Chain A
């Protein structure tokens, strides 16, 4: 099976702009989670989607949003970008509770 794919891999934006990141899970996986990774805060959970419904949401402002499509592909959007949003955004898919499969991530730089 193909692994989790994320596009784009690298992105440079300026403050105030918005960005959309995409994630294609492993075929058959219905759960897609998003994480933000920064040197200061580590790996933090953003949200999780299962069968097009958001099941869990982390402690992030409303500028961070996401959605999942009927084919399980997911997108996350960040509006009104701030310098502190610079991070590696990781998507993970799973078909059970125990193991999550991570994509390579999107490296977002906000200038």
Chain B
């Protein structure tokens, strides 16, 4: 089976940098995805790491270490609109996603 652990809540101030960690245990591993979900909204795709290293997309970056079964999402220059829940997820064969419990990020002025 698959299991993913991430912190339940993180608080940061506007303009700061925050890192959301995710550790996983999987029977097979293809890569690590990150999704953002605002309250009342649908999850939206942020990034996918299949290989070790850092992937950068604007203010968001995602990192993967396959040897450590660990990844993180880095959010820079935090804005109020970044307040949301962030989920790490691992895809299985056939587009099945197993999600972590989600990290609720609160950005304060």
Contact = CB atoms under 8 A, between A and B. Distances in A.
Interface string A17-38: 0000000000000010101000
Nearest to B96: A56
Given A42-B101, A100-B97, A56 B44 contact: no
B33 to A, nearest CB: 7
A103 B30 CA distance: 24
B42 A103 contact: yes
A28 B35 CA distance: 22
Interface in A28-80: 31, 33, 35, 42-45, 48, 50, 55-56, 58
B87 interface: yes
B: interface residue count bin: 20 to 34
Contacts, number: 60
B87 A48 contact: no
A105 B42 CA distance: 7
A102 B42 contact: yes
Nearest to A59: B1
Interface in A81-106: 90, 92, 94, 97-105
A104 B37 CA distance: 11
Interface of A: 31, 33, 35, 42-45, 48, 50, 55-56, 58, 90, 92, 94, 97-105
